[in-house]
Amino acid sequence: MMTNTGQRLTQGQFSFLPDLDNAQISAQVDYALGRGWAIGIEYTDDPHPRNTYWEMFGNPMFDLKDAAGIVASIDECRSTFPNHYVRVTAFDATRGWETPRMSYIVNRPKREPGFGLARTEGEGRSVRYRISSYATDKPEGERY
Amino acid sequence: MNKPVEDAVVTDANKRYSAGVLRYKQMGYWQPDYAPKDTDVIALFRITPQEGVDAEECAAAVAGESSTATWTVVWTDRLTACELYRAKAYRVDPVPNTGAGTRTEAQFFAWIAYDLDLFEPGSIANLTASIIGNVFGFKAVKALRLEDMRIPVAYLKTFQGPATGIVVERERLDKFGRPLLGATTKPKLGLSSRNYGRVVYEGLKGGLDFMKDDENINSQPFMHWRDRFLYCMEAVNRATAATGEIKGHYLNVTAATMEDMYERAEFAKSLGSCIVMIDLVIGYTAIQSMAKWARRNDMILHLHRAGNSTYSRQKNHGMNFRVICKWMRMAGVDHIHAGTVVGKLEGDPLMIKGFYDTLREPHTPQSLEHGLFFDQDWASLLKVMPVASGGIHAGQMHQLIHYLGEDVVLQFGGGTIGHPQGIQAGATANRVALEAMILARNEGKDIWNEGPQILQDAARWCTPLKQALDTWGEVSFNYESTDTADFVATATATA
């Protein structure tokens, strides 16, 4: 039988697959570029599911049309922040979308301690839940 | 009706409004020269006339009975701008493959235009009271089916539209570039709240984005609604913490009265649920009320189409599901069950494409093979997320993505909970199959043909997927569809 999870953050398009290698990342980048989407690279050490704004590793690369250049930027981000989460997001500027169309993780900390769930019992049987990453108990930059 | 009388429109006002009975054509409801205005609502009906009634008279009768006419002439018409308010049947075509020499009695398509001022702004109830009101019981037609409607931009702009829409739903959930995954809790009836929440937790933890109440789970003796909501939210929060990913459970707030539904929805909100659910059977007004509530309360609104097949499945009478799709996008739901093509429920691939396009596209051009009779500009109404549910499993992943695209919720109920190694394993099998297929599609692989191999490759390192494929790989539902296109030969998809 399967056991509990919690050892791997499952945000993003491909978290249930083995980590993507550079050739696979490059193919996904090509898919986005082929649709005219701009690639952005973001990193964080606070993977809370409601943490929308990861730090931008520069602006989205609106004018870079070459997957090799983008993969080089991804590598640069990963070597600068080897123990952070790094994700690649593809932004679509088409009317009616104007939103990310792809988002997948390309780097993870070596150890992912997961999240704690704290319950505050309220009126009746209602419970307020607070989810927090065990890693974020430490200050930013010292978490992983 | 049937006595032989003049057909021509009676233009002499004295004769036109003298007491008695005229044919509908004579009263002005058949106007073959009429050019519909951009602001007209247009309805396309499939009419099976009674013996001896000609198609144009039938069309005129439908136009009359769905707008201003009654069975006899009334002089009080002359107190109104009655020519404006009269609906105009302006075109009648025979339906292909019906009539003499076929197995189906003669049917006709009738195009009928309605002035915008016939309808209350922003009210599906008012629109439908005319268009599918008395006229469906009208004796002059043997059977009647509403096939499609062109809703003018001017009228669309009076509707809220989806409370959340696909774009904002994805942003809130932080899920992009792949279909969402769901499952309906099974068995649908009989579980206690505590046991029910167990199914929710296992499914979400295993990799699903959503779990779902079924349409007939409301508040029964074995499980009252408050208990269900409390245990489901425990499960949702536990699974969110286990995965670091946003999870949800469609809490069905369907109830006997609006007051009950508001109470249940408020409780769901107070517990932090991101989504609530209603059934189509609550009615158009209740749906619009809940859509407004959902917009006010940052809630995604899921609609289960319970009941639709009573009037949408048979081709000669009722209404086509594409019209329901249009009304529900106007009414303001965020999710609607719209067919799977390959699963256990009715669904011809071309028809389903018409439904999905109607829900998701900013503009749908006329496309007869998909059953879309009109160009329809959606006037920036948000997009509705279609839901594919009913007899689907991981082994069909390539077909599902091929037919349905990526802006869809794929719901594997039995295909998750019936997994031989348990619910979590079932969920993981589905998620791995999905991610592997999206990865391959984006890499440029031909998933329609290579799909089974892509799944087998992923199953080599994912035991739950291997077990799912071993269990259900060959299961398919090959029956002929009843609701098919009139303009091209079609085949039901084979799985």
pLDDT tens digit string along B283-316?
999 999 999 999 999 999 999 999 998 999 899 9
A76 has pLDDT over 70: yes
Min Cα–Cα distance to chain A from B371, Å: 24
B262 has pLDDT over 90: yes
B224: alpha, beta or left? (left if phi > 0; alpha if psi -120 to 50): beta
Residue-level pLDDT at A105: 98
**Most B CBs within 10 Å: which of A1, A4, A13, as the mutation test of the B interface?**
A13
Q: What is the pLDDT of residues A113-130, one digit of tens each?
A: 899 999 999 888 889 999
pTM: 0.94
- Interface confidence, given as ipTM, is 0.96
Q: Annotated catalytic, B186?
A: yes
In chain A, residues with a C-beta closer than 8 Å to the C-beta of B439 are: 13-14, 17, 20, 24, 28
Q: Annotated catalytic, B304?
A: yes
Residue-level pLDDT at A71: 97
Min Cα–Cα distance to chain B from A76, Å: 23
Considering CB atoms only, which of B176, B271, B380 is closest to A13? B176
Buried b / exposed e along B440-461 (16+ C-beta atoms within 10 A)? bbbbebebeeebbebbeebbee
What number of residues does chain A have?
A: 144
Residue-level pLDDT at B406: 97
Residue-level pLDDT at B491: 44
Residue-level pLDDT at A4: 54
Strands B376-377 and A85-92: unpaired
Residue-level pLDDT at A109: 95
Cross-chain residue pair A11–B244, CB shorter than 8 Å: yes
Q: What percent of chain B has pLDDT over 90?
A: 82
In chain B, residues with a C-beta closer than 8 Å to the C-beta of A33 are: none
Residue-level pLDDT at B3: 47
Residue type present at position A121:
E
B492 has pLDDT over 80: no
Give the separation between CA B444 and CA B456, rounded to whole angstroms: 18
Residue-level pLDDT at B69: 86
Q: What is the pLDDT of residues B141-169, one digit of tens each?
A: 999 999 999 999 999 999 999 999 999 99
CB half-sphere exposure, B420, CA atoms < 13 A = 10
Name the residue in chain B with its Cα closest to that of A27: B443
- Give the lowest-confidence range in A102-106, B71-75, B194-198: B71-75
Residues in Cβ contact with B266 at an 8 Å cutoff, skipping those fewer than 6 apart:
none
Residue-level pLDDT at B334: 98
Strands B275-279 and B300-304: parallel
Inter-helix orientation angle A22-34/B423-442, to 10°? 70
Strands B108-114 and B88-94: antiparallel
Among residues B142, B186, B188, B292, which one is catalytic? B186
Tell which wins on pLDDT, B128 or B414: B128
What number is the average pLDDT over the span B425-430?
Answer: 96
Residue-level pLDDT at B478: 66
Residue-level pLDDT at B7: 77
Tell which wins on pLDDT, A7 or B457: B457
**Looking at the complex, does the CB of residue A53 fall below 8 Å from at least one CB of chain B?**
no
In chain A, residues with a C-beta closer than 8 Å to the C-beta of B424 are: 2
Q: In 3D, which of B459, B481, B468 has the Cα closest to residue B417?
A: B468
What number is the average pLDDT over the span B371-389?
Answer: 96
CA distances to B179, B309, B366, B442 from B409, in Å: 6, 20, 26, 19
Residue B486 pLDDT grade (very low, low, confident, very high; cuts 50, 70, 90)? confident
Among residues B304, B326, B393, B402, which one is catalytic? B304
Residue-level pLDDT at A7: 80
**Looking at the complex, does the CB of residue A62 fall below 8 Å from at least one CB of chain B?**
no
Residue B402 pLDDT grade (very low, low, confident, very high; cuts 50, 70, 90)? very high
**Looking at the complex, does the CB of residue A110 fall below 8 Å from at least one CB of chain B?**
no
SS3 content of chain A, % helix, strand, coil (to 5): 20, 30, 50
Residue A3 pLDDT grade (very low, low, confident, very high; cuts 50, 70, 90)? low
Residue B494 pLDDT grade (very low, low, confident, very high; cuts 50, 70, 90)? very low
What number is the average pLDDT over the span B83-87?
Answer: 94
Question: What sign does the CA torsion over B364, B367, B369, B371 have?
Answer: positive
In chain B, which residues touch A (CB < 8 A)?
Answer: 167, 170-171, 174, 176-178, 205-207, 230, 233-234, 237-238, 240-246, 270-272, 362, 380, 383, 421-422, 424-425, 428, 431-432, 435-436, 438-439, 442-444, 458, 461, 464
Q: What is the pLDDT of residues A21-74, one digit of tens each?
A: 999 999 999 999 999 999 999 999 999 999 999 999 999 999 998 999 999 999
